[in-house]
Amino acid sequence: MVRYFTRLRMRRIYKWVSTYVEGQEAVTTVTPGQYILIEGNDDEYPFVAKLLKFFGDESHKQKKALVQWFLRLSEVPQNKKLLLGRSPHPQEIFYYLGRACDNEINAESILGTVQHVPEDTPFPEPGTKDTLYVKLSWDTKAFNVLDPVLMQDTPASTPPKPALPLFPPCASPTATPVSRGPVRRALPTPDPTVMRRAGSVSDTRATMSAGKRSTLEAESIHSASKLSASKILSAKRRGSAADTPGVRKKLQLSPGKKMTRADVLCELLDEEMESEKVISLKLSSSVSHSLQHGCSLSPMRSGCKTPNGQRRFPWKLSSISLDRLSPTALGEQDLSSDLLLAVIPLALEDEVFEAGLPTDAGSANTPKKRQATPRRNYVREQKATTPSRRKESAMAIRKPALGVLAEEDSEDSPMQPIALTPRSKRKSAQLVSLRIRKQLNLLDNTQKLISDGDDDCFVPSKKDLQSSSDSEEETMVRKTRGRNGKASARTPCKTPSKKVCMVTPSTPRHATPSIPSRTVPARQPGNILEEARARLHVSSVPESLPCREQEFQDIYNFVESKVMDGTGGCMYISGVPGTGKTATIHEVIRCLQHASDMDEIPTFRFIEINGMKMTDPHQAYVQILQKLTDQKVTADHAAALLEKRFSNPAPKKETTVLLVDELDLLWTRKQNVMYNLFDWPTRRHARLVVLTIANTMDLPERIMINRVASRLGLTRMSFQPYSFKQLQQIITSRLNKVKAFEEDALQLVSRKVAALSGDARRCLDICRRATEICEHSTSHPSSAGLVRMNHVMEALDEMFSSSYITAIRCASLQEQLFLRAVIAEFRRLGLEEATFQQVFVQHRALSRVEGLQPISVSEGLAVCQRLGACRLLLLEASRLDMLQRVRLNVSQDDVLYALKAVRD
Amino acid sequence: MSKRKVKETHMPVGECISQVQMILRERFCHQRLPEKPVGMESQHKHLLELLRRTAVHGESNSVLIVGPRGSGKTMLLNCVLRELLEVKDVNKNVLPVHLNGLLQTDDRIALKEITRQLNLENVVGDKVFGSFAENLAFLLEALKKGDRSSSRPVLFILDEFDLFAHHKNQTLLYNLLDVSQSAQAPVAVIGLTCRLDVLELLEKRVKSRFSHRQIHLLSSLSFIQYLDNVRSQLSLPQDFPDTNFYDEWNDGIKVRHFSSYPQLVDVLQRHYNSSKDFRSLHLLLMLALSRVSASKPAIKPTDLLEASRVCMVDSKANILHGLSILELCLIIAMKHLNDIYEGEPFNFQMVHNEFKKFLQRKSHSIHNFDKPVVIKAFEHLQQLELIKSMDSSTAKIQKEYQLMKLLLDHSQIMEALQKYPQCPTDVKQWAMSAFG
pLDDT tens sequence across B172-221: 999 999 999 888 889 999 999 999 999 999 999 999 999 989 999 988 88
Question: Residue B92 CA to chain centroid, in angstroms?
Answer: 34
Mean pLDDT of A212-222: 38
Give B17→chain A minimum CA distance, Å.
Answer: 32
Q: Judge whether A692 and A717 are in contact, CB under 8 Å.
A: no
Q: What is the mean pLDDT of residues A592-610?
A: 91
Pick A882's closest partner by Cβ from B175, B274, B407.
B407
CB distance B218–A695 less than 8 Å?
Answer: no
**Cα(A503)–Cα(A505) distance, integer angstroms:** 6
B312 or A778: which carries more pLDDT confidence?
B312
Mutate to test the interface with A, among B138, B140, B275, B381 (most CBs of A within 10 A): B275
Phi/psi of residue A356, nearest 5 degrees? 75, 15
> What's residue B70's pLDDT?
86
Q: What is the DSSP letter of A830?
A: T
The secondary structure of A122-178 as a DSSP string is PP--TT-TTB-EEEEEE-SS-EEEPPHHHHH--TTPPPP------S-GGGHHHH--B
Please spell the DSSP secondary structure of B293-339, one letter per residue.
BTTB-S--HHHHHHHHHHHH--HHHHHHHTS-HHHHHHHHHHHHHHH
Instruction: Please answer yes or no on whether B186 and A522 come within 8 Å at the CB atom.
Output: yes
Beta bridge partners of A657: A606, A689
Burial class of residue A246, CB neighbours in 10 A (0-12, 13-18, 19+)? middle
Rounded to an integer, what distance in angstroms lies between the CA atom of residue A799 and that of residue B213? 6
In this complex, do A517 and B150 lie within 8 Å of one another by their Cβ atoms? yes
Residue B257, pLDDT > 80, answer no
The β-bridge relationship of strands A604-610 and A569-575 is unpaired
Residues B167/B173, Cβ–Cβ less than 8 Å: yes
CB within 8 Å of B94: residues ≥ 6 apart: B54, B55, B84, B85, B152, B153, B154, B155
Average pLDDT, chain A: 64
Give dist(CA B265, CA B191) in Å, integer.
37
Nearest to A538 among B49, B181, B411 (CB): B181
- To the nearest whole Å, the CA of A695 is away from the closest chain B CA by 8
Backbone torsions φ then ψ of A801, nearest 5 degrees: -70, 145
Residue A65 pLDDT: 67
Residue B3 clears pLDDT 60, i.e. is over it: no
Q: Which amino acid is at A105?
A: I
pLDDT at A473 over 50: no
pLDDT at B14 over 50: yes
Lowest mean pLDDT among A86-100, A427-441, B322-336: A427-441
Residues of B in contact with A435 (CB under 8 A): none
Using one digit for the tens of pLDDT, what is the confidence trace for A627-684? Answer: 998 888 999 999 999 998 888 887 777 889 999 999 999 999 989 999 999 999 988 8
pLDDT at A106: 62
Tell me the sheet residues that pair with B96: B155
Residue of B47, B54, B57, B65 to mutate, interface with A, max A Cβ within 10 Å: B57
Which H helix or E strand runs over A660? Answer: strand A655-661
CA distances to A469, B51, B76 from B90, in Å: 55, 10, 19
* Residue B142 CB coordination number (10 Å): 24
Q: How far is B302 from chain A (nearest CA, A)?
A: 20
Cβ–Cβ contacts within 10 Å for residue A126, how many? 12
Q: How far is A140 from A76, CA to CA, in rounded Å? A: 8
- The answer to whether residues A762 and A726 touch, using CB atoms and an 8 Å cutoff, is no
- Provide the Cα torsion A485, A491, A493, A494; round to 10°: 10
The answer to whether the Cβ–Cβ distance between A806 and B149 falls below 8 Å is: no
Q: Could you say which DSSP state residue A260 is in? A: -
Angle between helices A549-565 and A581-597 (to 10 degrees): 50
Strand partners, A134: A93
Among A94-108, A145-159, A226-240, A853-867, the range of highest mean pLDDT:
A853-867
- From residue A359, alpha-carbon distances to A99, A607, B386 in Å are 21, 29, 89
φ and ψ at A731, to 5 degrees?
Answer: -65, -45
Task: For A210-258, give the DSSP string.
Answer: TSPPP-PPPP----GGG-HHHHHHHHHHHHHHHHHHHHHHHHHHHHHHT
Closest partner CB to A511 (pick from B89, B120, B313): B120
Alpha-carbon torsion, ordered B292, B298, B302, B304, to 10 deg: 70
- Residue of A499, A515, A621 for testing the chain B interface, max B β-carbons within 10 Å: A515
Query: Mean pLDDT throughout A744-771?
Result: 90
pLDDT of residue A883: 87
pLDDT of residue B393: 65
Give chain B's mean pLDDT.
86
Q: What is the interface pTM, i.e. ipTM, of the complex?
A: 0.91
Choose the weakest-confidence range: A252-261, A496-505, A572-581, B128-137: A496-505
Q: How far is it, in rounded angstroms, from Cα B16 to Cα B295?
A: 12
Residues of B within 8 A of A695 (CB-CB) are 204-205
Q: Which residue has better confidence, A136 or A217?
A: A136
- DSSP H helices, A399-458, are 400-412, 416-419, 422-454
Task: Give the gap in angstroms from C-alpha B211 to the nearest C-alpha of chain A.
Answer: 6
Rounded to a whole number, what is the distance in Å from the CA of B124 to chain A's nearest CA?
A: 7
Q: What is the pLDDT, as a whole number, of residue A175?
A: 37
Per-residue burial over A203-215, b = 16 or more CB atoms within 10 Å of its CB, e = otherwise: bbbbbbebbeebe
What's the confidence (pLDDT) of residue A20?
42
C-beta of residue B194 within 8 angstroms of C-beta of residue B156:
no
In this predicted structure, which of A39-48, A86-95, B383-392 has the lowest mean pLDDT? A39-48
The residue-averaged pLDDT of A441-469 equals 41
φ and ψ of A890, to 5 deg: -120, 160
Shortest CB distance from B407 goes to which of A622, A799, A883?
Answer: A883
Q: Show Cβ contacts of residue A320 under 8 Å, excluding neighbours closer than 6 positions.
A: A251, A255, A296, A299
B contacts of A577 (beta carbons < 8 Å): 204-205, 207-209
With cut-offs at 50, 70 and 90, classify the pLDDT of residue A201: very low
Residue A479 has pLDDT above 90, yes or no: no
Q: Which residue of A has its CA nearest to B169?
A: A612
CA distance A402 to chain B (A): 14
Share of chain A above pLDDT 70, in %: 43
Which has more confidence, A205 or A698?
A698
Contact A518 B154 (CB under 8 A): no
The pLDDT-based confidence of B250 (bands split at 50, 70, 90) is confident
Residue B148: closest C-alpha in chain A: A522
What pLDDT score does A609 carry? 93
Which of chain A's residues have a Cβ under 8 Å away from the Cβ of B411? 844, 857
Contacts of A638 in chain B (CB under 8 A): none
pLDDT band at A585 (very low <50, low <70, confident <90, very high): very high
Q: In this model, does residue B234 exceed pLDDT 60? A: yes
What pLDDT, in 10s, does the model give residues A707-730?
A: 888 888 888 899 999 999 999 999
A671-682 as b/e: b if 16+ CB within 10 A: bebbbbbbbbbe
CB A117 within 8 A of CB A160: yes
DSSP H helices in B29-122: 41-52, 73-86, 88-91, 107-118
- On whether the CB atoms of residues A286 and A17 are closer than 8 A, the answer is yes
Q: Residue B34 pLDDT > 90, yes or no?
A: no
Percentage of the residues of chain A whose pLDDT score is greater than 90? 20
Is B93 within 8 Å of A519 when comparing Cβ atoms? yes
User: Cβ B57–A505 below 8 Å, yes or no?
Assistant: no
CB contact under 8 A, A853 and B137: no
Residue A39 scores a pLDDT above 80: no
Q: Are A112 and A37 in contact (CB under 8 A)?
A: yes
What does DSSP assign to residue B56? I
Q: How far is A534 from chain B (nearest CA, A)?
A: 8
A882: chain B residues, CB-CB within 8 Å: 407-409
Q: Which of A438, A533, A612 to mutate to test the interface with B (most CBs of B within 10 A)?
A: A612
At residue A344, the pLDDT reads 40
φ/ψ (deg, to 5) at A201: -125, 145
Above 80 in pLDDT, residue A113? no
**CB atoms B208 and A837 under 8 Å:** no
* Least confident span in A81-95, A491-505, B335-349: A491-505
* C-alpha A186: how far from chain center: 39
CB A277: neighbour CB atoms within 10 A?
Answer: 24
Own/partner long-range contacts of A828-831 (Cβ < 8 Å, ≥24 apart): none
Q: What is the pLDDT of residue A108?
A: 58
- Verify whether the Cβ–Cβ distance A858 to B408 is below 8 Å: no
Chain A residue with the nearest C-alpha to that of B50:
A772
What's the pLDDT score for residue A82? 55
Report the alpha-carbon distance of residue A585 to residue A714 in Å, rounded. 18
Interface test with B, best of A431, A509, A518 (most B CBs within 10 A): A518
pLDDT in tens, A384-419: 444 444 444 444 444 444 434 444 444 444 444 443
* Phi, psi (degrees; rounded to nearest 5) at A769: -65, -40
Rounded distance between C-alpha atoms, residue B65 and residue B216, angstroms = 6
Residues of chain B neighbouring A798 (CB-CB closer than 8 A): 213-214
Q: Compare CB distances from A577 to B130, B204, B408 and report the shortest one's residue.
A: B204
Three-state SS at A10: helix
Q: How far is B408 from chain A (nearest CA, A)?
A: 8
More confident residue, B340 or A504: B340
pLDDT band at residue A226 using 50, 70 and 90 as cut-offs = very low
A477 to chain B nearest CA, in Å?
22
DSSP letter for A513, please: P
Q: If you average pLDDT over residues A524-544, what whole number do you get?
A: 82
Q: What region, left, alpha or beta, does residue A612 occupy, with left being phi > 0 and alpha being psi -120 to 50 degrees? A: alpha
Mapped onto helix, strand or coil, the DSSP state of residue A23 is coil
CA–CA distances in Å: residue A447 to residues A614, B285, B425? 35, 68, 98
Per-residue pLDDT band at A324 (split at 50, 70, 90): very low
Burial profile B69-95: b = 16 or more Cβ within 10 angstroms, e = fewer? ebbbbebbbbbbbebbeeeebbeebbb
| pLDDT surpasses 60 at A196 | no
Q: How far apart are CA A456 and CA A463, in angstroms?
A: 12
Distance separating alpha carbons of residues B29 and B286, to the nearest angstrom: 9
**Under 8 Å between Cβ of B328 and B415:** no
* Closest residue by Cα to residue A680 from A725, A648, A653, A702: A648
